[in-house]
Structure 1
Amino acid sequence: MPRDPRGRRRPSLERGIRFRLLVVLVLVMGGVLVFVDIAVSRLSRDFVLTRLEHDAESLITSLVVAGPDDWRITDNQLPSVYQRAHSGHYYILSGPDRTDRSRSLWDLTFEVERLLPGETRVGIRRELNGQTWLVWQLGFEKGGQVYSLWIAEDLAPLQMEQRRFESVLLLLVLVAVAVLLWMQRRVLRRGFARLKPLQRELEAHRLGIESQIPESLPEEVAPLVDALLSVLERSDQQIRRSRTALGNLSHELKRPLQQLHSLADRQSGPDDREALMRVYHQLHERIDRELRRARIAGTPSPGRRFAPAEELPYLVDMMSRLYREAPRVELDLPDVDTLPFDRDDVLELLGNLLDNACRHARSRVRLSLRRVETAWRWDVEDDGAGVVEADYERLAGRGVRLDESDRTERGHGLGLSICQAVVDSYRGEMTFDRSTLGGLRVRVVLPVP
């Protein structure tokens, strides 16, 4: 029995579908059988009633004069079924002075209700010997005298045939249900078998083998596969960005390490100690910067959408903790619950932009969000010294630093290259220009996926 990693039994789509189909078939077939039973019973009853009416007409027309104002049925005009004891066909003719009974009644005696001419009655009568009779009564006038004709037929033979027919029908229904369940199982397994190539390709992707997701997938699972592929693509992009960030970090650390190596080869004097400390502080600041970015990103939540009103105050609070003299961060946000972008991606993007802005700002940083046609636009601005216009295009380059001479190493390069990778993953655009606050403005436009 397949179980999940926690040891719990996994639900089965096939068993669930088969069970629901079985319930539907039982309800439908049960309803059909009930309908057939009612319909056949009614048809049988109507058939017997019609035959009783015809027999009554025959009996009335066979009446002969037995005396003054006396009519009776002679035996030579009776069908044989009325002369054989307990044959299942019976009649009683009740007149003013006498009552004639069919020989088939034998020793059964009971009173018959007298009816007016033209009056009829239909009913069911059950006898002690287990017979069930359908009874039809008619009142009529003959030779100026009023007679009542009681005529009945045993329903047992028809009921037996009806039960035999319904038993055969039930057997056929059970066979049909079994065949339908068997066919459904084959169809489901053949349908699920079309997902095997997808399973193999996903397993190859997990093992790092180049894979190609099949295109001919059932339309019922296509949205699920598309969502899965989107998550895998986003995961691949995040991994590539992580590798890029590690490469950038290695690039940033290479020169200080080379300087340390060069100084270590020499005999260190007082001047060299000062140089070594300067290089040490450079390394410490760059490593600390990466730790700040990790804190900004927070706990990874793949696939979760970004909620500006919930996440951005957290980022602002984080900046105030990271910098002792943190600038005032202003938020200009529309009334929107969530954005159709991955939370981790946007936190990484805005975290790096706000980190750069806070490090360069004098006292103010502004973050604004606007909807622009089929895209969302972020503007991150500061009131710092800014960057000369000629260097805007170089800012997003990998490992580019526009202030190598600045010994405090407060450059934009590493963080902005990571931001550019996030923007590229959404086929967006990141541009730079002068802010109305006086410093740099970074504008990011991400189209809605």
Structure 2
Amino acid sequence: MASGRDRRALGLGPQMGVRGRSVLVAVVVVLVAILIGGSGLVWALQANLEQAAESTASARAVEVVDRIAAEGLTATAASLTDRSRSGEVVQVLTADGRVVGASSRAADRQPLSPQRPAAGEYTAAELDLDFLDEGGEWEVVSTGVVADGALHLVQVGVPIRVQRETVQTVALFLLAGAPLLLGAVAVAVWVLVGRALRSVERIRATVAEIDARHIDDRVVVPPTRDEVAALAVTMNTMLDRLEASHQAQRAFVSDASHELRSPLATLTTAGELALRGDEPTRTRLLTTMNAELTRVRGLVENLMVLARADASDRTTSRGDVDLDDLVDDEVQRLRSTGDKAVQVSLEPVRVRADAQQVAQPLRNLVDNAQRHARSTVRIALRRSGGDAVIHVDNDGPPIPAADRERVFERFVRLDDSRSRDAGGSGLGLAIARAGIRAESGEVRVVDAPDGWCRFELRLPAEDPAL
């Protein structure tokens, strides 16, 4: 078996390209078809011609046997010469092989065939009869017949030299035409594959010219409805995703810059005033600067969490997580730090997940509910089928149905009540959804029976029987 280096040396590797490999495969397939089909044709032609010769000889033998039965052995043997046919030799022999009558002088000295069938039996053989005028190979049919009280033989020979020469001529034509046919196939495949690849080359050239300045360009889809058209559609779909990703990235960078501009401006102004101010002024400004730094640090941490989520770069440590414990911790935190009433309904539910990636989204949802609630936050945990379901409700204004997906986008604030001054950066819900989806769950806004604002968190739950 040839090694990879040997194949490369022979030009059989990927260096050949699609056109070269297509031509090679087509030529090999056609060559195999010619060999198999040509061999079958030659064999079938030869068998057919030999069978025809045998049928002719057998029919002539039957005719001679019938004449012997009708006219007698002596009369039939004497009339063989007069009734001879071109291309046939007929003999009448005794049982021991002595020639009694023959249709030609060359055949009256020795039998055509050594075969000695019984009366009524027919045998055939291909023999080389050089003593006849034509010589060469003959098809000889022998049969036995009882005449004058004794067994005699009738032998009929038909030359098959012409048939063999015909078969050889056909074989030579096939051999001579094979290179021409292979060459024609190679040229045709080379041209056809080249034409097919022109569309691929156009697609490649178009994609190569697309950059950030022309990211809205698209590949022309040919009307062929074949694999090339499917490739063009796939490339356009990929370009759509790249354009959406590029626009999302630009929007993300723009929003992040906008969010950081305000605290940085505040820090710059505070630093300049602190340099010129007295000690009480510097003390007051340091408090403002610490608050802004805390805000910037939180914003940067949120941005890093989202960046890792986009890059699928989170390191997870999966284990059994008791969701009722996580929810209870958030309830205790909310009661100790917030001024809103908290209603709780918990069922013991366990999931297989990374505790940190579930705890942070849950905290973001609880903080969001506490920030927008008028007076009450309601948290419920239950099992629904094979899922663990957490409902985080607040009695603030519900989110309109048209905005229930947009609220999970980054830096989105739906109205003045969801402003920066209310404590949100517009990233908490985006982080919550990204974290829960990393655990094969989902976060969404749903309708609450009493009209409250409700966020639903779902995670695959473990079987309590295990």
Residue 94, structure 1, aligned to residue 89, structure 2: no
Residue 158, structure 1, aligned to residue 157, structure 2: no
Secondary structure of 1:194's aligned partner:
helix
Residue identity opposite 1:258 in structure 2: A
Are the structure 2 counterparts of residues 151 and 144 from structure 1 closer, same or farther at C-alpha, using a change threshold of 3 Å?
A: same
Q: CA deviation at 1:282?
A: 1.6
Q: 1:168 aligns with which of 165, 169, 173?
A: 173
Are the structure 2 counterparts of residues 228 and 365 from structure 1 closer, same or farther at C-alpha, using a change threshold of 3 Å?
A: farther
Aligned pairs for 1:156-305 (under 5 A) are 156-206=161-211, 208-209=213-214, 210-221=216-227, 222-266=229-273, 267-268=276-277, 269-299=282-312
Q: Distance in 2 between matches of 1:433 and 1:96?
A: 113
Deviations 1:76-113 (A, max 9, x none): 637597xxxxxx96554213795346532587678845
Q: Distance in 2 between matches of 1:412 and 1:387?
A: 21
Residue identity opposite 1:38 in structure 2: W
Q: Distance in 2 between matches of 1:244 and 1:442?
A: 27
Could you tell me which runs of 5 or more consecutive residues in structure 2 were left unpaired when the two chains were aligned: 1-7, 333-345, 352-356, 371-377, 434-442, 459-466
Q: CA deviation at 1:259?
A: 1.4
Aligned pairs for 1:317-356 (under 5 A) are 356=364
Secondary structure of 2:312's aligned partner:
coil
Aligned match of 2:125: 123
Q: CA deviation at 1:227?
A: 3.3
Q: Distance in 2 between matches of 1:244 and 1:147?
A: 111
Q: Distance in 2 between matches of 1:250 and 1:42?
A: 89
TM-score, normalised with respect to structure 2 = 0.62
Q: Which is helix-richer, 1 or 2?
A: 2
Secondary structure of 1:121's aligned partner:
strand
Q: Distance in 2 between matches of 1:25 and 1:36?
A: 15
The answer as to whether partners of 1:357 and 1:381 remain within 8 angstroms in 2 is no
Are the structure 2 counterparts of residues 165 and 330 from structure 1 closer, same or farther at C-alpha, using a change threshold of 3 Å?
A: farther
Q: Distance in 2 between matches of 1:439 and 1:390?
A: 4
Are the structure 2 counterparts of residues 368 and 245 from structure 1 closer, same or farther at C-alpha, using a change threshold of 3 Å?
A: farther
Secondary structure of 1:195's aligned partner:
helix
Could you tell me which runs of 5 or more consecutive residues in structure 1 were left unpaired when the two chains were aligned: 82-87, 302-310, 335-347, 371-377, 421-428, 445-449
Secondary structure of 1:389's aligned partner:
coil
Residue identity opposite 1:225 in structure 2: A
The answer as to whether partners of 1:89 and 1:153 remain within 8 angstroms in 2 is yes
Q: What RMSD over aligned residues (CA atoms) do the two structures have, in Å?
A: 5.3
The answer as to whether partners of 1:382 and 1:441 remain within 8 angstroms in 2 is yes
Aligned match of 1:375: none
Residue identity opposite 1:235 in structure 2: L
Q: Distance in 1 between matches of 2:421 and 2:66?
A: 132
TM-score, normalised with respect to structure 1 = 0.64
Are the structure 2 counterparts of residues 391 and 21 from structure 1 closer, same or farther at C-alpha, using a change threshold of 3 Å?
A: closer
Aligned match of 2:343: none
Q: Distance in 1 between matches of 2:379 and 2:457?
A: 17
The answer as to whether partners of 2:138 and 2:160 remain within 8 angstroms in 1 is yes
The answer as to whether partners of 2:120 and 2:143 remain within 8 angstroms in 1 is yes
Aligned match of 2:30: 25
The answer as to whether partners of 1:119 and 1:138 remain within 8 angstroms in 2 is yes
The answer as to whether partners of 1:382 and 1:438 remain within 8 angstroms in 2 is no
The answer as to whether partners of 1:263 and 1:272 remain within 8 angstroms in 2 is yes
Residue identity opposite 1:238 in structure 2: S
Secondary structure of 1:214's aligned partner:
coil
Q: CA deviation at 1:161?
A: 2.3
Are the structure 2 counterparts of residues 333 and 108 from structure 1 closer, same or farther at C-alpha, using a change threshold of 3 Å?
A: farther
Aligned match of 2:455: 441
Secondary structure of 1:30's aligned partner:
helix
Q: CA deviation at 1:11?
A: 7.9
The answer as to whether partners of 1:204 and 1:211 remain within 8 angstroms in 2 is no
Are the structure 2 counterparts of residues 238 and 80 from structure 1 closer, same or farther at C-alpha, using a change threshold of 3 Å?
A: closer
Q: Distance in 1 between matches of 2:24 and 2:382?
A: 56
Secondary structure of 2:210's aligned partner:
helix
The answer as to whether partners of 2:22 and 2:190 remain within 8 angstroms in 1 is no
Secondary structure of 1:139's aligned partner:
strand
Q: Distance in 2 between matches of 1:331 and 1:104?
A: 114
